[in-house]
Amino acid sequence: MKRPFDNLLSEYRDRIDQVDSEIIALLEKRVGIIREVAHIKAEHDIPSVIPVRVDEVRERAASMAADRDIDPQVIREIYARLIQYSCDLEDEIKNKLGAA
């Protein structure tokens, strides 16, 4: 059932849906790179989690967010989860390759 405000918001929802599609495509690209990195880390016995790098990535994203008037703490939280997923994926790939 349509609500009175659905027509008013329709254009904006479509635009948000488009941006969400772009975000997913970028995440797919990022995951592809993570998979490549996992193979390199397995080959060279490099740990999946490198705390200094984790901090660099998270803080760089927070700084970029702050420059764009986006709450940096929210971005830190999002990136903490994204980085955790990335490290878990690296571990999974390394385990399959027998190098974790």
- Over residues 34-86, the pLDDT tens digits come to 999 999 999 999 999 999 999 999 999 999 999 999 999 999 999 999 999 99
CA atoms within 13 A on the CB side of 60: 7
Q: In the chain, how many domains are there?
A: 1
Domain contains 1:
no
pLDDT value at residue 99: 53
Alpha-carbon span 68 to 72, nearest angstrom: 10
| pTM reported for the whole predicted model | 0.86
Q: Provide the domain limits for residue 93.
A: 6-97
Count each helix (H run) and each strand (E run) in the chain, helices first. Answer: 3, 0
Residue 34's φ and ψ, nearest 5 degrees, are -60, -40
| CATH at residue 24 | 1.20.59.10
